[in-house]
Amino acid sequence: MAHKKTINKGGSNYSTADYNLVSNGGTGTPLNPERAANLQHPSLYINRELSLLEFNRRVLFMAQDKQVPLLQRLRYLCICSDNLDEFFEIRVAGLRKQRDSYGRGTGPDQLGPAEQLQQIDAVAHQLVQQQYTVLNEELFPALVAQQIVFPPVAEWSKKVRTWASRFFDAELFPVLSPMGLDPLHPFPQLTNKSLNFIVSLRGTDAFGREASRAVVRAPRSLPRIIPVPMEFSNGQSQFVLLSTMIERNIGRLFPGLETRGVYQFRVTRNSDLYLADDDVADLRLALRDELNARDYGSAVRLEVGEDCPDAVIQFLLNQFGLDSQDLYVCNGPVNLGRLAKLPDMLDRSELKYDSFTPVTSVAAQSGGKLFSALKKRDLLLHYPYQSSQTVIAFLQAAACDHKVLAIKQTLYRTGQESLYVDALIEAARNGKDVTVVIELRARFDEDANMKIASRLQRAGVQVVFGVVGFKSHAKILLIVRREKGRMVRYVHIGTGNYHEGNSERYTDLNLLTRNKRITGDIQKIFNQLSGLGKVANVKSILHSPFNMHRKVIKLIQKQTERAKQGKPALIRARMNSLNEPQIIEQLYRASNAGVKVRLLVRGICALRPAVAGVSENIQVISVIGRFLEHSRVYAFGAEGEEEVYISSADWMPRNMFHRVEVAVPVLDAGLRATVLEESIDCYFRDNCFAWQLLADGSYKRVRAAQENGAMAQGVSAQSTLQAHYVSAG
């Protein structure tokens, strides 16, 4: 079987100059305007998984974009690779499970799991091929031009060869464990995404056994990139990959045997956790058992180096129970994501984004000042342009304030070393009544969250593990304070997690308020999460899984009716993903009625804009930039009449029906204007990093237009906001 001749067929149809993938979004059904009367027709919906792959194409394009600093381009390549890893671990694994149980298509596009896997196969192989083309033909040459080099073994100097040999003996040889393969030593159980080598051998070992193959696992305890000492590097910044170091010296592990070939490989496994919450007595114990097994789930993808022979490839496919379509041949290191460490190893500021320090508000200098400030008006914070230190300082002040009686907070992802957790522990030790709702099932953060929960419980914090069957995804903090003999509530609501690191990399909105209606609603939600009460009768906020979906549809329908009456009607919204079919159908109806719809959707978008008779009035853009776009904003109404909400929820079925989410109104007119300008309107002026979704499911880069024969000035929303906050701060 000539695997490599069949796997990497088909070239990319985009270049560094532009990117416009022409497809019909993977529905397999040609668009037909005559079907506009049936707004639920599958041809009007883009497949979720294929849309997610297209997001990764846009990320990969950033690795080619010469507007982006070189080392950051490398990071984007690694982000794309890591995203694909998770795509296979979760999305492809789930589809395979559905296919094997004879499942049918459940999405609005009606593609079945087998059809989706077939189309994913074609797109993902092309995407992987493009990754290595970008690495080898663009990034590596650009790095060499900057004296940053991964020299091929054939070009190693005598001094480098001597150093590498000694390094192997001192650092690698003691931790490597070769595993010969024979009837008494079957193929080992290899962990998910670990780097491995299969070695072809010839000869007889010390015990008289014929040797043919062995497996060597690369130690996870060692860095994947090794700097060559400066005295051997001819003035360059030279590096050697751990995989190269092992390949070069692997024969030392098999004395007396002939090493005929050494080939990298990596297997990706199903990493989703399948727990029936209502069938387990203790979710923590059940999760711990599942986590122990996560690294050994069923195989879904095999990656091999391009020099791997067909016979060895077939042997590996058989070992993992995979077929040829599950094979990805890599023209370079099979673990691309590990190259993300390189920028941190180099002191080359000119090849990175300019340093940026978030603005810290005056109130953050003394968190206690916020109690007084919030008596006058609500406070809006925009991460990462403004610092999360404001909220941290507020929580720290509350922990020590003798007037504060209780603190309640949700934690979804926060990181093991967290100032938020430290403040909650301090509050408990100071006698406050502290309740924390921790979501144990936050994917890939389960272990960290269990450790945080134990730490909080040891400090006397009341820890609640959410609701059976529903992830607690809302980002809310409630502080109860006695002021002049009465109880006053203060609330923080965010669109992102309580995570200091993410607040410097993700764009998120945060509202601090003491508005009685909002704080009263948040109090009810906390009581519902920790207790066993019925649906909270909230007055001002949208609340999943109870009323958010219904109210979002009503808000869309309100604009539809206004348009039918000839009144100004406008819907503006931004989110990470949009694929809830009933909401999309209502947006189609709004468009047909004449409502202008402007959507900023970073990733998955199942809605088709600009379809004749369906969505001519809908415009969708996606922005990929320095910061990860993460805010969720919903705005309904023409200018001056908007109802504006910030939220933790995307417009997806899981957020509407299977998670605890909130969307809170922005009541202050000035703050509403700020939210709309900074989170939506300025992005629709972006002509540097914005992509427009077309009716056929493709994306087209938004370019600066020509004016009088010259290019108009480029506008980057993120750069504009950075400059604004730096000057204002």
pLDDT (tens digit per residue) in 399-422: 999 999 999 999 999 988 899 999
Torsion-angle region of residue 700: left (phi > 0), alpha (psi -120 to 50) or beta?
beta
What does each C-alpha distance from 435 to 322, 432, 438, 526, 533 come to in angstroms?
A: 47, 10, 10, 9, 17
User: 415: Cβ–Cβ under 8 A, 6 or more apart, which residues?
Assistant: 448, 499, 500, 501
The whole-number pLDDT of residue 469 equals 81
Decide which of 100 and 159 is more confident. 159
Say which range, 146-155, 440-449, 681-690, has the weakest mean pLDDT.
440-449
Q: Which percentage of the chain shows pLDDT scores above 90? A: 77
Band (pLDDT 50/70/90 cuts) for residue 18 is very low
Cβ atoms of 13 and 21 closer than 8 Å? yes
pLDDT of 25 above 90: no
- What 3-state class would DSSP assign to 664? strand
Q: Mean pLDDT, the chain, as a whole number?
A: 89
**Residue 346, phi-psi category: left (phi > 0), alpha (psi -120 to 50), beta (remainder):** beta
Q: Report the range of poorest mean pLDDT among 178-192, 236-250, 297-311, 479-493.
A: 178-192
Question: What is the DSSP annotation of 281-347?
Answer: S-HHHHHHHHHHHHTTS-EEEEEEETT--HHHHHHHHHHHT--GGGEEEESS-S-GGGGGGTGGG--
Residue 676: predicted pLDDT: 98
pLDDT in tens, 166-224: 999 999 999 999 998 887 778 999 999 999 999 999 998 777 778 889 999 999 888 99
Phi, psi of 553 (to 5 degrees): -65, -40
User: In terms of Cα–Cα distance, which of 434, 430, 432, 361 is closest to 394?
Assistant: 361
Rounded to whole angstroms, the Cα distance separating 122 from 325 reads 9
pLDDT at residue 455 greater than cutoff 50: yes
SS3 506: strand
pLDDT of 12 over the 50 cut: no
Tokens encoding 600: 């900023």
Please say if the pLDDT value at position 459 is more than 90.
yes
pLDDT band at residue 234 using 50, 70 and 90 as cut-offs: confident
Residues 6+ apart with CB under 8 A from 357: none
Percentage helix, strand, coil for the chain under 3-state DSSP, each rounded to 5: 40, 20, 35
pLDDT at 23 over 90: no
Tokens of 709: 């024969």
Question: What band does 704 get if pLDDT is binned at 50, 70 and 90?
Answer: confident
**Cβ proximity of 515 and 490 under 8 Å:** no
Q: Domain 166-278+294-351: which topology?
A: polyphosphate kinase like (3.30.1840)
Pairing relationship of beta strands 643-647 and 299-305 according to DSSP bridges: unpaired
For residue range 572-627, list pLDDT tens digits in order.
999 999 999 999 999 999 999 999 999 999 999 999 999 999 999 999 999 999 99
Q: What is the pLDDT of residues 36-46, one digit of tens each?
A: 568 999 999 99
Give the DSSP H or E segment for 657.
Answer: helix 653-657
What pLDDT score does 327 carry? Answer: 98
Domain boundary assignment for the chain:
166-278+294-351, 362-540, 544-728
- Report residue 365's pLDDT band, with 50, 70 and 90 as the boundaries: low
Confidence (pLDDT) at 362: 61
Burial 186-214 (b: 16+ CB within 10 A, else e): eeeebebbbbbbbbbbeeebeeeeebebb
Architecture of domain 544-728: 2-Layer Sandwich (3.30)
Task: Assess contact for 457 and 424: CB atoms under 8 A.
Answer: no
- Taking each continuous run of H as one helix and of E as one strand, the counts in the chain are 20, 29
- DSSP symbol at 233: T
The b/e string for 218-257 (b: 16+ C-beta within 10 A; e otherwise) is bbeeeebbbebeeebbeeebbbbbbbbbbbbbbeebbeeb
pLDDT of res. 26: 39
pLDDT score recorded for residue 278: 54
Give residue 615's pLDDT.
96
Q: Is 473 a catalytic residue?
A: yes
**From 41, 125, 473, 549, the catalytic residue:** 473
Specify the higher pLDDT residue, 382 or 106. 382
| Residue 467 banded pLDDT, cuts 50, 70, 90 | confident
Helix, strand, or coil here: 644?
strand
Tokens of 37: 């009367």
Q: 362-540 belongs to which homologous superfamily?
A: Endonuclease Chain A (3.30.870.10)
pLDDT tops 80 at residue 536: no
List pLDDT tens digits, range 637-680. Answer: 998 899 999 999 999 999 999 999 999 999 999 999 999 999 99
Q: What is the pLDDT at residue 33?
A: 46
**pLDDT for res 492:** 98
Percent of the chain with pLDDT over 70: 90
Say if 166-278+294-351 and 544-728 have the same CATH topology.
Answer: no
Residue 286 pLDDT grade (very low, low, confident, very high; cuts 50, 70, 90): low
